[in-house]
Structure 1
């Protein structure tokens, strides 16, 4: 039986409070003062799925799966309607529970729309085998409310494209490492999510999927025509790569 998730789900301190909504939709709560919206579902065995938007910051977290090693874990997701996707997850911990955080939350939240099972399997080359199946609510309107609150689309044609998986460790950073004077972290003044399609080992058709404020993605969109080195052309051709940037106003310290 699914149970309601309190607002503390946003920080992984999940506490059941009452029975799950009878209309079999994702449980939804919001805090307008904090610009926070949460849709969640929890299961008797301790697993939980949490979609959260807070002031434009979108996250999708799965709690209760077996702990996975590494900075990125690739899992194949499958839905009863035939959809399949290889998803990238970042292992993390918080509130005493192991969790996986989506690397591309908008796409992965859309993958969860509609009822039925969500099967997750490690890939054949994974160092550890993991299989899980979670039954999702039949309705998805509350999940859509989280996407809408974060100004993400309910549909995206690029969801049908396979995601890029890079062999080279330094393939995806927007900029190379540079020696700079020390700085103190400052106020965030811009965030952007962009996606590009890889053709002939180059980024093409780069577009802003989300930006705040308007124009925050301008520098990122210059990734068009960027060439990838040391990668498999056939494996990457026609795939989509997702990049995120945060711009801060910083203060230099020292002489």
Structure 2
């Protein structure tokens, strides 16, 4: 039990955890810290990775720790993943201050996908010292309660039809030739942090305006970067070549805002 609490504490601080053997269990481990407004479900694996879903004061996140260190100036990294019998897909993850830890762009969707457990493949492109890919083949227990509790604590739905639309979002956040007619105007929030990141999704309306915007991920969780990104999209508009303005096909868009003071 002590080693699990140590692992959980490391994950919540965004620090890489030591490799621990995976125990046979029926659900993911769940740790509640009411004094910190924090709850998280996590699982260490036999391959040295640790995976966690966490709710910290209303901010939901997905963490993978124990990765090969990202390059010094990288803000994001690509992990190729598949859950169950799906195809390997490139997923963009945000690099934290600990270069061996990464945060998912769309953590709630990933949590809903992984809570059934089963086979999970994670490929780290050029992760080995000689440049070869590193491949992790995992068999994870399902989560009948723990992951759902973290989602509920952050007011994230247990079922969300927007999950089916997320694969349409390209790495740039815009697809099908769409461009910004009026870009988001995002200002640095009042915070003590020198840098941060927020990932936002919105539904594009027929006139190119954005509606039902939501913060998918942000780091640090108490940096107000998600709030700042949401405020910045109020008057943003998109244009879609090949379509008639005012009759654009509604679709989901996503974008990452990176905040730096230097």
When the two structures are superposed, what TM-score results if normalisation uses the length of structure 2? 0.63
Task: Indicate the residue corresponding to 1:174 in structure 2.
Answer: 184
Q: Secondary structure at the match of 2:238?
A: coil
Task: Indicate the residue corresponding to 2:164 in structure 1.
Answer: 160
1:75-95 residue CA offsets vs partner (Å, 9 max, x unmatched)? 33212243765421012353x
| Superposition map of 1:47-196 within 5 A | 47-69=49-71, 70-82=74-86, 85-94=89-98, 98-121=100-123, 129-161=133-165, 162=167, 163-166=169-172, 174-175=184-185, 185=191, 194-196=200-202
1:206 alignment partner, one of 199, 202, 211: 211
**1:83 and 1:102, CA in 2 relative to 1: closer, same or farther beyond 3 A?**
same
Unaligned runs of 5+ in 2: 193-197, 217-226, 242-248, 258-262
* Contact 1:196–1:241 under 8 Å retained in 2: yes
**1:225 and 1:123, CA in 2 relative to 1: closer, same or farther beyond 3 A?**
farther
**Separation in 2, partners of 1:67, 1:223:** 38
Task: Indicate the residue corresponding to 2:36 in structure 1.
Answer: 34
* Contact 1:206–1:221 under 8 Å retained in 2: no
1:225 alignment partner, one of 237, 248, 258: 237
**Separation in 2, partners of 1:16, 1:65:** 11
* Contact 1:115–1:138 under 8 Å retained in 2: yes
Calculate the aligned-residue CA RMSD, in Å. Answer: 4.5
Task: Indicate the residue corresponding to 2:221 in structure 1.
Answer: none
| Structure 1 position 146, deviation (Å) | 0.6
Q: Secondary structure at the match of 1:88?
A: strand
Extract structure 1 runs of 4+ deviating beyond 4 A.
13-20, 170-173, 197-200, 202-205
Structure with a larger share of its residues in strand: 1
* Contact 1:49–1:60 under 8 Å retained in 2: yes
| Structure 1 position 112, deviation (Å) | 1.5
Unaligned runs of 5+ in 1: 187-191, 230-236, 246-255
Task: Indicate the residue corresponding to 2:223 in structure 1.
Answer: none
